[in-house]
A and B are shown apart, each in its own frame.
Chain A
Amino acid sequence: MDPKRAKQSPDSAEAIRLSPFPDEALDRILALLDSHKDRSSASLVSKAWYHAERWSRSCVFIGNCYSVSPEILVHRFPNIRRVILKGKPRFSDFNLVPQNWGADIHSWLLVFADHYPFLEELRLKRMTVSDQSLEFLALKFHNFKSLSLLSCDGFSTDGLAAIATHCRNLTELDIQENGIDDISGKWLNCFPDNFTSLEVLNFASLTSEVNFDSLERLVARCNSLKILKVNQSITLDQLQRLLVRAPRLMELGSGSFLQDLTPQQYTDLETAFRGCRNLQTLSGLSEASSLYLPALYPACANLTFLNLSYAALQSEELAKLLAHCPLLRRLWVLDTVEDKGLEAVGQNCSLLEELRVFPEHPFDQEIDHGVTESGFLAVSYGCRKLSYVLYFCRQMTNAAVATIVQNCPDFTHFRLCIMNPGQPDYLTNEPMDEAFGAVVKNCPKLQRLAVSGLLTDLTFEYIGTYAKNLETLSVAFAGSSDWGMQCVLEGCPKLRKLEIRDCPFGNKALLSGLEKYESMRSLWMSACKVTMNGCKLLAREMPRLNVEVMEDEESNEGQAYKVYVYRSVAGPRRDAPPFVLTL
């Protein structure tokens, strides 16, 4: 069904002169390219390559849905089967973006219905998706296979029912951490009895109870099911029954893991886990009782990713569990495991590459529990391959961070959140500048950095001087003057995303990046010292940037309270709500 592109165009003639091999060969070769970056590079070689690339591309990734329009997209890429779209600025996850800001998928779907009738896959992050859109998707795209919604909002379980009812070829339904209106679990019953194609089912984040019989029958008849993540309504003995039906699972999300089991039930559960030889990822376990955790030890031998970030485990429980997970590469935990638990991580997980420690009580400042610099240090001594860390803590020292990055120089993602804004090194009372200086000096591969604690411009001088591979930087309650932000804008050649809140950076800093923003995906600045005039100037000088200011009751006269700047080939937004001013 793919329309053939015209071979008689003058570009072809030129291409034949310039490239010694025929177009068909070029097509074949380019079709093998997967990486978006590679494809972008290929498309820039020549017109012939540009056209060969655009016809052969089947998957497109759009990091900012407003950087391009659906019309432009379908015009350039006629044969897309898979679309990945990201919408709102990341700080919308933390309630910094008002409701109804935009990033609605519907206008995209309308265009896709005409141009990509064979669309198979849609992966959305921070988009607004309505039930109406989900129903439209289910009805209009007969080949649709794979839906993934992460951190989206605007839909309800009714929309999921439409997907389940109409998508006959569905292989993936992945619903994660959305602002969803969870009306009932009845959507699960909507999969037809003769529907067997499901490979991925993730409804862990939904709260409504589902009909277990429906689920069991669904799991039983979908022989290719590889990923199953159930919600908290599923009990332990129900889980056991599911595992018996799907022993080839590679990823399991267990639900609450809470129930009183008879000894026989416990044995059955343990046996079921022993049968799961392919398990690589395990998650869920919220409200897990340490009484029953041992039941899953037999399934842990091949685990590479363990997500305990909703399971309030204590240090001993974690230690015992980790002893059974020798191949672990990624671990997410709650800070209930405390430093002692992290010591166990250092002792047991020598292959660990990624660690995320989430706070159990992020908003409680009185609390003494959680993790400290000791835990992080302990991990760094034992896990020398660590490259990704997200660490929420209430105290940190410069010395600790310096040691950590000496132990682990391979960091690509370093996200440290000292939860009290502007908190200094708790031992020396100095700013945390040297900590982040050490990070950027010792970790040449650093791509993503999030800073916190009391920081002066010196931190940003370090970043600008050393962080030459930095692509994403998140800053909050930091810096002393415009100079800080200028250092980063001038010093980091690969910077793509810069998000700043509550920092003393003003117009001078903003405008110092004039040349820079077109090479970046976006800039976010909120509660800084930028003014409307500064933003207007930026907009005037850089017509290919969208400079958007969000009105807010907190803003003072002339202040630009929330600023979102991004490059776009689609021009200013046509769907902006009244509180978004495009300058």
Chain B
Amino acid sequence: MEVSRKVAVDMLVGAELSLGLPGGAVEALRSCGKRGFSETAEVDLKLNFKAKESPRVDPCSFSKEKIQPDPAKPPAKAQVVGWPPVRSYRKNVMAHNDKNIGGQEEAATGKATLNGAATVLVKVSMDGAPYLRKVDLKTYKSYEELSHALGKMFCSITSGNYEDHQGMIDFMNENKLRDLLNSSDYVPTYQDKDGDWMLVGDVPWEMFVGSCKRLRITGPQQVCRNG
């Protein structure tokens, strides 16, 4: 499935006037707030701004066509009132669901199952560290575990190799690193699917795993700049 571009749904619905549903174009809106999706659904966005609206077909003329059914000439592809025979209630519910969330998983992103078959690999950068790491968020069950793991990770990178690197913090000590991570000086942030940089720890762990694209442990200066 293609990755969808995010467009304001209201605008889209407004543009696609049709007799029935705003057919075709669905939108995957990541809902903000605590009760959101842990996996954002991605759906084909058919941005078809050609007016789907057509004047209501005069079924009388339509049925006249049917007198000599000519298979070579299919009837006009216009929207006809009350066809297909789907109850209004169902129409409204499906339209409503389309607007909110795609409701479908995208298997391709690998966030499909609880069995842990999928991995969630994200890059982790730390300010002052010379190169990045990658972690599989699925292997951790909580923020604490992640923090612990990160501490270990950056300890081993930096130990003993970069004494002459300017501005480098002393990562030699794992405990010190963890304190740093937990202190207000160093702020763990992550980039989510929308591209926004968020503070780690606000949302339930599962949701974080689902939306985190990249981790960055920022120093105090960087945080201010991002402010």
- List residues of A whose CB falls within 8 A of some B CB: 91, 93-96, 151, 177-179, 205, 207, 235, 258-263, 266, 286-292, 294, 309-312, 314, 316-317, 336, 358-367, 392, 417, 419-424, 429-431, 454-456, 474, 476-481, 501-504, 526-529, 554-556, 559, 561
Contact = CB atoms under 8 A, between A and B. Distances in A.
B89 A179 contact: yes
Contacts of A309: 90
Interface stretch (B7-15, B36-44, B143-151, B157-165): B36-44
A362 B84 contact: yes
A366 B46 contact: yes
B69 interface: yes
Which 10 pairs, one residue from A and one from B, show the smallest C-beta to C-beta distance? A364-B23, A94-B82, A363-B20, A527-B59, A177-B89, A312-B103, A363-B23, A364-B24, A260-B207, A502-B59
B35 A235 contact: yes
B104 A312 contact: yes
Nearest to B207: A260
A95 B105 contact: no
A85 B66 CA distance: 37
B147 to A, nearest CB: 18
A479 B67 CA distance: 7
A359 B97 contact: no
B113 interface: yes
A201 B46 CA distance: 40
B225 interface: no
7 contacts: A261-B206, A290-B112, A359-B86, A421-B83, A422-B75, A429-B72, A554-B59
Interface in B82-123: 82-91, 93-94, 96-97, 100-105, 107, 112-114
A429 B66 CA distance: 15
Interface of B: 18-21, 23-24, 34-39, 46, 48, 56, 58-60, 62-64, 66-69, 71-72, 74-75, 77, 79-91, 93-94, 96-97, 100-105, 107, 112-114, 141, 203-207, 210
Nearest to A316: B107
Contacts of B102: 312
Nearest to A91: B82
- For chain B, what secondary structure do more than half of its interface residues adopt (helix, strand, loop), or is it mixed? loop
A95 B82 contact: yes
B90 A294 contact: no
A286 B102 CA distance: 11
Contacts of A359: 84, 86
Contacts of A291: 38-39, 105, 112-114
Given A91-B82, A289-B38, A554-B58, A429 B71 contact: yes
Given A151-B87, A421-B83, A362 B20 contact: yes
Nearest to A177: B89
- Most B CB within 10 A of own CB, among A361, A365, A424, A561: A361
B92 to A, nearest CB: 9
Contacts of B62: 421, 477, 502, 527
Contacts of A261: 206
